[in-house]
């Protein structure tokens, strides 16, 4: 349906979706609607923001190469054009 990772990583609504949530996709209005109450979303956001690393996957366990670390340090997210900005790398 769309590229959602940047919004989730940036604390957007998509980060609060849980398994079993209903989502309405309306092609005519080009909209996605998360069918979860504002109170429940507030509870989820509060719970997520209390974690040591909010807005990152809980089960992310992987080895990252030095090359990928360097790329990640330079890369802008898709909502900023998905380009590289080498000025972000220090020393």
Q: Is there a single domain that holds both residue 66 and residue 29?
A: no
Report how many domains make up the chain: 2
Q: Is the pLDDT of residue 12 over 90?
A: no
| Domain co-membership, 35 together with 68 | no
Q: What sign results for the dihedral spanned by CA atoms 28, 32, 34, 37?
A: negative
28 pLDDT above the threshold of 90: yes
40 and 7 together in one domain: yes
CB-based contacts of 86: which residues, under 8 Å, 6+ apart? 74
* Per-residue pLDDT tens digits for 61-82: 778 899 888 887 888 877 777 7
Instruction: Look at the block and give the residue holding tokens 């080895």.
Output: 63
Residues 52, 67 within the same domain: no
Terminus-to-terminus CA distance in the chain, angstroms?
Answer: 40
Residues 47 and 78 in one domain: no
Provide the residue range defining the domain that includes 8. Answer: 1-57
Same domain, 66 and 49: no
Is the model's pLDDT at 3 over the cut of 70?
no
Rounded-to-integer distance, Cα 49 and Cα 55, Å: 8
Q: Are residues 5 and 41 in the same domain?
A: yes
């Amino acid at each position: 349906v769309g590229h959602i990772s940047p919004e989730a990583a940036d604390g957007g609504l998509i980060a609060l979706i849980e398994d079993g949530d209903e989502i309405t996709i309306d092609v005519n209005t080009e909209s996605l609607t998360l069918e979860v109450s504002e109170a429940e979303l507030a509870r989820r956001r509060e719970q997520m923001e209390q974690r040591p690393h909010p807005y990152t996957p809980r089960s992310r366990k992987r080895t990252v190469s030095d090359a990928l670390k360097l790329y990640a340090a330079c890369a802008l997210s898709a909502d900023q054009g998905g380009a590289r900005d080498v000025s972000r790398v220090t020393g």
